[in-house]
Amino acid sequence: MSIKLNWGTGIALVYIGFAAATTGFVAFAMGRPVDLVSNDYYAQSLRQDGRMLAERNTLTLTPAPSIEQVDGRTAVVSLPAGHAASARGTITLYRASDSRADRTIAMAFDRDGRQPVDLRGLVHGQWIVKMRWTAADREYYFEQPVFAR
């Protein structure tokens, strides 16, 4: 016994396969967690001009701010020593894939303008260290990626 397939049956099978694949993908996509980059992304976009000015202010600092990763468990944030004494702000460990994992730390530099940041307990992978501070009535902003291990 042999089954004959004509072109109409072939088209129907292709259409059914396509519909099944599309339905499967939609079911898969609906089951994935959806995290916005931040809960107040619209308000942050309105403050973008201020952030760009803060980044330009940061470019005027000598030496430039830096984030040096000592190992997979510690990063050292540095500002110019004279500038760090008056700096008031926050250091945010930002995880793009999970907004619930973000951490914010108050700036507390030593007299050399350095502050260690503990990376232990963070999910392994890339994090962005975001520094936002005020000194001498000027806003500053600096960010750099680090890798927690």
Q: What is the pLDDT of residues 135-148, one digit of tens each?
A: 989 999 999 999 88
Question: What pLDDT was estimated at residue 53?
Answer: 93
Tell me the pLDDT tens digit for each residue of 43-75.
877 888 889 999 999 999 989 999 998 887 899
Class of the CATH domain delimited by 41-148: mainly beta
101 by Cβ neighbours in 10 Å (0-12 / 13-18 / 19+) ranks as middle
Whether pTM exceeds 0.85: no
Statement: residue 109 has pLDDT above 70: yes
Residue 94 identity = Y
pLDDT confidence of 35, banded at 50, 70, 90?
A: low
Q: Strand 74-78: give its sheet, edge to edge.
A: 66-71, 74-78, 114-118
Question: What pLDDT was estimated at residue 91?
Answer: 95
Question: What pLDDT was estimated at residue 116?
Answer: 94
Average pLDDT of the residues in 130-135 = 94
Q: DSSP readout, 76-133?
A: EEE--HHHHTT-EEEEEEE-TT-GGG-EEEE----TTSEEEEE-TTSPSEEEEEEEEE
